[in-house]
Amino acid sequence: MNGDHILLVDDERGLLKMVNSLLQKEGFTNVYTATTGTEALRWVKTERIDLIVLDIMLPDMNGFDLCRQIRQETKAPIIFLTARTSDLDKITGLTIGGDDYMSKPFNPLELLARIKAQLRRTTYFQLEKTEKNNAYHFGRFSLYVNEGTLLVKGRQVKCPLKEFELLKFFCENPNHVFSTQTLYEKVWGEDSCGDERTVMVHISRLREKIEEDPQDPQLLVNVRGLGYKLVSM
C-alpha cells in the first residue's frame, strides 16, 4: 500500500472516477476528490496532501487562482490536467506554482507515470534535507531534532519531551490543520478520548516559548472549528 495522499480536482466526475480507480489499482489508497475549488481548499487545509492533480476550468473559480491559494497552504507538487492547451496557459501554470502540465485528452498511464515521478522527486529531496541537518527553521525559532534543541531568537530554550515532540510534529507538517484529537493520537500515540485539554495545555506552553505575543499567536495558530496549525512564514 502507498501512504501518499493525492488530491484530484476536476468537475468531470467520470474523469475523477477513472483516475481514482487507476490510482487505487496502483496501491494509492489515500485519494481525495473535489469538483470545486472551494472543496479542494477544504481538503488542502484539513488533510496532509502530497500531490495535487488540478484542472483549470472549475465551476466556482479559475484553476490558476486556486493554485495560488493552494501554494499558501502547501508545497505539494501540482500537476495541471486541462483542456486549455495554449503556450500562454502552460507558461502561466508553471510560473504560478505548478510542477507539471498535461493537456486533455490524455493517456491515463502517462498521468500515472508523471504522478509517480513527482512523488519520487519529493521523497528524494525530503530525505536529502533530513539527512543533512534534521532541522526546522520558522522565523523566530529553530528546532534541531538530532540534538533535541529548541532555539528561540538564537537562544536555547528548555522544552520538555512531549512539548518537543508536539512541536516536531507541527514542524514536519507546516500549514496543515490538525484537530486536538488527531494531535493527541499522533504525538501521544493513544486514543484521544477525554484528552483535548492535554493538547491545549501543551500548545499554550509552546506559544509561551516561540511566540512574540502568546496572546496573539502568529506561528502556532488556531483555525476556528478545525484545530491548530504551524504557519510557515
pLDDT band with cut points at 50, 70 and 90 for residue 189:
confident
Is it true that domain 135-230 has CATH number 1.10.10.10? Answer: yes
Residue 3: its pLDDT value, please? 77
Contact 172, 198 (CB under 8 A): no
Residue 113: its pLDDT value, please? 94
CA distance 110 to 99: 15
Q: What is the phi/psi pair of residue 139, to 5°?
A: 65, -100
Residue range 147-168: average pLDDT?
91
Output the nine-digit C-alpha cell for 145.
531534532
pLDDT digit string, tens, across residues 16-41: 999 999 999 999 999 999 999 999 99
* C-alpha dist (Å) from residue 142 to 135, 168, 208, 222: 7, 10, 15, 21
Asked if the domains at 2-130 and 135-230 fall in one CATH topology, the answer is: no
Where do the domains of the chain lie? 2-130, 135-230
Q: Which CATH number describes the domain made up of 2-130? A: 3.40.50.2300
CA distance 55 to 11: 8
Q: What is the phi/psi pair of residue 104, to 5°?
A: -90, 145
